Structure 1
Amino acid sequence: MRAALLQEFGGRPAPADVELTSILPQEVRVRTAATGICHSDRFGQVGGNPTLEMPVVLGHEAAGEVVEVGSAVTTVRVGDHVVVAPAGSCGLCRWCSRGHAQHCQNLARTREAGAPSRLEADGRPVTQFVGIGAFAEEMLVRESSLVAVPPELPWETAALLGCAVITGLGAVRHTAGVGFGDTVAVIGCGGVGLSAVQGALLAGASRIIAIDTMASKLEVARQLGATDVVDASRDDAQAAVLDLTGGVDHAIEVVGRPATVQQAFGMLGVRGTATVVGLPHPGDEVVLPATALLQEKRLQGSRLGGTSLRVDVPLYAEMHLRGRLQLDPLLGGTIGLDGLADALEGIDSSTAARTVVTF
């Protein structure tokens, strides 16, 4: 099969022939239909995680059709349409038992030591990014990394449920716990940030302020429920939010830079909470005014939006099909595998919420 293979950090993933090894009892083989391009993929490409072994197939936000199941698989069958996400969990460990599957201690994204790799190229093991490796014509993943969705859900739309939607909407719903009447600022209006805007709307937020440097993304944010927008390429975002609200109840940061994390905290009102969704780089440090803590302001992180894969993805799929959750505005262009390298390099300047690789 063809896959986009990255040979070294900072390199360009290029189409290559890759082989799947034999399926194990707890695994599922999926024919990939669509895979969204996420900043996490770019993060892996440039060496954000130096322990990532090369060569690697990136990609983790995907949808496709089940073509083979292992003998121990019980939740899906051949022919099912599925969303594949980095939100798998064992369901039994300490954190899963507490309802925080995003911190599962037994992810088992890769096979046990001594077992053959799921992917090989020219006889060499190939790493699957976060145990998925979705920039490929097929995926071989653990059963816990996927969930069935209605077949009427378009492939490109379904793929977004694998990361962007569950992360952004989940951060508002599960991590921040935005309540009816709360005021919310969202910093960064890509696929994740726009999902957070919708999450705030669904939660009944009284004011939703979208912040970005691209006018096109701010316009989509308005369509999805933002009551106010701030163009951070022109205006001081923190000052603008304080001027509009006097300080918000929630600031959702989706960029992952120290400066925007500090801005998020600076936008808060008394007892406000800043929730960091963006992926920070190793060594990043954030400096906060200690006196602000006397106003009971809080800074917290969000991992995958606190998602419960088997509960949240089918719920969001059903909400979309019933017209209660808009996913189509999140979609930008679609490309083939040959266009992946350019799309990854241009992701920071992309005017689209999400570019999707289709197969």
Structure 2
Amino acid sequence: MTTAQALHARAALSDGQGRFSIDTVEVDAPGPGEVRVRLVASGLCHTDHQSLTWPGPLVMGHEGAGVIESVGQGVSHLPVGTRVLLNWAIPCGRCPRCVAGQGALCERTQGVDPALGSSDVAHGSTRWRGQPIGRAFRLGTLSEFTLVRAEAVTPMPAALPLHQACILGCGVMTGVGSVINSAQVQAHDSVAVLGCGGVGLSVIQGARIAGAGRIIAVDRRADSLARAQAFGATDVVQVGDDDADLQRAVDEVRQLTGGRGVDHAFEATGVDRLAFAPLRFVRHGGTALQVSGAHGQAQINVLDFWWDKRYLVPLYGGCQPERDFPRLARWALDGRINLQAMVTRRYTLDELPQAMADLLSGRNIKGVIEFGSEAPHP
């Protein structure tokens, strides 16, 4: 096999109608400025389920880690064999947002400025049945191989297993980054976290790393609250499904904070109607953040903003890959982020139906699809 050849890869393909299948795609050799990555593992999150109804066919997946298999012209800083984490908000490094240090808002990747050129590779990159096929977030990590711009990958330390590293690329980055980069939680601050799935538990760990004095987990499931305590929550509040239950949770959180409310509240449920709920938990002048990606309709009472509350919808935890991914990896290696406990179950690609069912049932904190070992292919 030479790096000048296209490669065949098994991949998960969504049809745009809510279904997916496993089939073979063809992944091109890298062109200038590109790298081809052999995926070792890909995490699953609810966005992957949402992608089943995006315009298809589409190669699924956006939380990936693997090994660089070949590189294109001009890529001298990423040798073949480098272990890498993929970044779904790919910075170009030269648009106004990237220059301002806001790579997650890259105007090239987001398609804001057509003058910056295509946000995907120019020559097709992946084909299915002879035709070009799209890839989720221009990555398509539920595939044995993917072809991306070099800006989409960040080297990972050898000591961090890639089946753990892969989940840093979305859920962990979103949760921890929303605490550290977006809310800028300080030592002794109080924090409430609504929803204790993968993102919520990452928020809790980020708050612990930041030195928050009180970390209050709010969830409707007792098992989720038990997990939250294991990851660093100092207090737990169980909540029901209706608005009266939510108000009781608000009252309980206020009692835990001397009647003030918390300094920072994070919504990590993914439930559209709860998008503005964190405003009810924060004190005057506090910060409410919606970090789950909920994007449907939700009602709001303008009084919830009183007085001087901030409401943020941070994208990807303000990710700057060159700063954040090495930092997350260090925190994982020193135990401040417990990736081993977060990866509840590992699956093969053929077990994706079961993995998706477990995702929807809430059985896992994080499920991971594995494609093979980290050892070089012959």
Corresponding position: 1:111 with 2:121: yes
SS in 1 for 2:350: helix
Aligned to 1:120: 127
Corresponding letter in the other structure for 2:186: G
Equivalent position to 1:272, from 283, 286, 310: 286
Corresponding position: 1:22 with 2:29: yes
Residues in 2 aligned to 1:57 and 1:213: alpha-carbon distance in whole angstroms: 34
Equivalent position to 1:56, from 58, 83, 90: 58
Deviation of 1:152 after TM superposition, in Å, equals 1.6
Contact 1:171–1:305 under 8 Å retained in 2: yes
SS in 2 for 1:288: coil
- Between stretches 339-348 and 177-186, larger displacement belongs to 339-348
Aligned to 1:162: 169
Aligned to 1:130: 137
Question: Structure 1 length as normaliser, TM-score?
Answer: 0.92
Deviation of 1:87 after TM superposition, in Å, equals 2.8
Contact 2:205–2:336 under 8 Å retained in 1: no
* Deviant stretches of 4+, over 4 Å: none
Deviation of 1:312 after TM superposition, in Å, equals 0.8
Corresponding letter in the other structure for 1:258: D
Residues in 2 aligned to 1:58 and 1:211: alpha-carbon distance in whole angstroms: 31
1:81-117 CA-partner distances (Å, limit 9, x unpaired): 11112032011111111111111111254134xx3x2
Residues in 2 aligned to 1:270 and 1:102: alpha-carbon distance in whole angstroms: 29
Contact 1:216–1:351 under 8 Å retained in 2: no
Instruction: Provide the aligned length of Structure 1 versus Structure 2.
Output: 348
- Between stretches 102-111 and 201-210, larger displacement belongs to 102-111
Root-mean-square deviation (Å): 1.7
Deviation of 1:337 after TM superposition, in Å, equals 1.0
Deviation of 1:345 after TM superposition, in Å, equals 4.2
Aligned to 2:113: none
- Between stretches 343-352 and 86-95, larger displacement belongs to 343-352
Contact 2:187–2:210 under 8 Å retained in 1: yes
SS in 2 for 1:295: coil
Unaligned runs of 5+ in 1: none
1:5-57 CA-partner distances (Å, limit 9, x unpaired): 1123211x211111112321111111111100011111211x3xxxx431111
Question: Structure 2 length as normaliser, TM-score?
Answer: 0.88
1:108-161 CA-partner distances (Å, limit 9, x unpaired): 54134xx3x211111021111000001111111111111001122112111111
Residues in 1 aligned to 2:330 and 2:355: alpha-carbon distance in whole angstroms: 30
Contact 2:29–2:36 under 8 Å retained in 1: no
Contact 1:217–1:352 under 8 Å retained in 2: no
Aligned to 1:90: 92
- Between stretches 212-221 and 299-308, larger displacement belongs to 212-221
Identity %: 36
Unaligned runs of 5+ in 2: 1-8, 110-117, 372-378
Residues in 1 aligned to 2:207 and 2:78: alpha-carbon distance in whole angstroms: 32
Residues in 1 aligned to 2:63 and 2:271: alpha-carbon distance in whole angstroms: 22
Residues in 2 aligned to 1:291 and 1:219: alpha-carbon distance in whole angstroms: 33
Corresponding letter in the other structure for 2:207: A
Aligned to 1:262: 276
Contact 2:273–2:299 under 8 Å retained in 1: no
